Structure 1
Amino acid sequence: MNSPDPQSPDLAGAVPASTVVIARDGAAGLEILVIERAKGMGFAGGAIAFPGGKVDEGDAPAGPAFEGFAGLDPDDALARVTAAREAFEETGILLSRGAPLDDGLRDQLRPMSDRHEIAFADLLARIGHRLSADVLTPFARWLPPPGLHKRFDTRFYLAALPDGEVHLADGTEAVHARWARPAALLEEADAGAISILFPTRCNLARLAQFADTGSLLADPTPPPFIQPRIDGEWLTIPEGIGYPYTAERWESVRRS
């Protein structure tokens, strides 16, 4: 079974989603923030992943809390807000700009946002923050092959860790959060110490090529739209689009 033509993707049944790779420079170079999803989650339970989730129409970037979104493709604009919201809910990190947030108010607003009791636009207005579109750099878009039980049409973004922001897993969807070098995470996965999905492995391999946050964010590679193919015993992605890891045996691919 082959994936559809990237120029006319088969989006039937695919749920729009958004993910953000938050990066910083550590003692040994580029580090990224990853979460461990709760084992009871319906998708990728127990896996190591980047903060993210389903796109919500309530994330529309309308109002003075948003800057630089007007000229973007509407789906891209919406997904960027979702990425910022999910980063806040799952890790406590605000990608918006404004005065430092009191820990008590941060702890109050995170579950409210997660329960959709406050829209992200209203949350930003309440704390006097503005979210700029340019703090989220498109990295890739992944669409699984048709026929799978769960298909998420996922946009991946990059963001540098804002000064003064620290992470804390929410304890529900994300039971742990930590900084790590992409190469170290791949080593852990190869040793069986952690579980990762095929797109996560591919993206970690791509991220491992960069020495620091500056070189990652300055990468001129256009963000690819990737639709893996099932070729016999292998799940593959195209070569020549910035990914050094392009194939995995279908029998070993984790699909939920």
Structure 2
Amino acid sequence: MVEQASGFYAAGRTPAPTRLAATVLLLRPAVDPGGDGVEVYLIRRVPAVAFGGVYAFPGGGVDPADADADLDWVGPDPQTWAHRWGSTPSQARAVVCAAAREVFEETGVLFAGSDSATMVDAVDSPMWEEERQALLARTVSFAQLLRRHRLALRSDLLAPWSRWVTPAFERRRFDAHFFVARLPAGQATREVSGEADHGLWATPRQALDLAAAGRWQLLPPTWVNLAEVGAYADPAAVFAASADRDAARPITPDLHVDPDGTVSFVVAAS
């Protein structure tokens, strides 16, 4: 990474364009708190994908089909989400849809129900696995999947948390919108995604300690967001805190090399 950044700045190259992305901190109450009140679901990306080998939250790039307006919607509408993200309603709709889609693709958890008072039952049956595989193959869009099961996207189960933009020197760059979401009652995560070779629940403290010991790789956005949600007593407190956050302000980490060779990330908000 140091070599890549040094070459980029030395050559005066132009940064690659960013792609919209959605990332979700899926939360549940800590099984054994020990000082932490929440656990977060993390997956380890396979080496072949972007940022391979690192532990990250479920998420990925926004697809064109995520902007499909023909789907039932429960909770804050796209206009409300646009206000929180500082975007247009159509872009906000796509980002929220991508967040829900990516969580289903990578964890088997589905944020959907018939209305604001209901949730889809456990979605680990063979039928739902066929639907998930069709979604991964892009033979069906997330909106189409929900329509044929007469379900609505439960946007009220998601809350905006932060927005991170990949450093200028990276070849693949994302404008990543980070959400927080509680694990729905009656559903469980599964290790299902082909883009990850491992998934697990961990408290923020556990994850950060493993990274500090050099046993896990975490990118700066993951590190910072883990530290932030780890300060709250339970998932409900995280959700309450999201209402006061400026999620629209993009945060961009950059690499800094001191004269003695010490490497550090500098995090700046736009």
**TM-score bin (small chain):** 0.7 to 0.9
The answer for the alignment partner of 1:222 in structure 2 is 246
- Displacement of 1:113 in angstroms is 0.4
Aligned counterparts, 1:92-241, within 5 A? 92-97=108-113, 98-100=119-121, 101=123, 103-219=125-241, 220-223=244-247, 224-233=249-258, 234-238=264-268
CA distance in 2, matches of 1:236, 1:70: 33
CA distance in 2, matches of 1:64, 1:146: 36
Q: 1:228 to 1:102 in 2, by over 3 A?
A: closer
- Displacement of 1:221 in angstroms is 2.6
CA distance in 2, matches of 1:51, 1:214: 20
Bigger CA drift: 202-211 or 219-228? Answer: 219-228
2:201 maps to a residue whose letter is W
The answer for the alignment partner of 2:61 in structure 1 is 54
The answer for the alignment partner of 1:4 in structure 2 is none
Q: Which structure has the larger Rg?
A: 2
The answer for the alignment partner of 2:21 in structure 1 is 17
2:265 maps to a residue whose letter is L
* Helix, strand or coil at the partner of 1:218: helix
- Displacement of 1:128 in angstroms is 2.5
CA distance in 2, matches of 1:235, 1:59: 32
TM-score computed with the length of structure 2 as normaliser: 0.79
Native 8 Å contact 1:34 1:49 kept in 2: yes
The answer for the alignment partner of 2:96 in structure 1 is 80
Partner deviation per Cα, 1:145-170 (whole Å, 9 max, x = no partner):
32322211111011111111111122
TM-score computed with the length of structure 1 as normaliser: 0.83
* Helix, strand or coil at the partner of 1:237: strand
CA distance in 2, matches of 1:70, 1:202: 27
1:24 maps to a residue whose letter is R
Native 8 Å contact 1:99 1:128 kept in 2: no
Bigger CA drift: 167-176 or 148-157? Answer: 167-176
Unmatched 5+ stretches in structure 1: 2-9, 240-256
Bigger CA drift: 57-66 or 135-144? Answer: 57-66
- Displacement of 1:65 in angstroms is 2.3
Higher helix share: 2
Instruction: Give the RMSD, CA atoms, in angstroms.
Output: 2.2
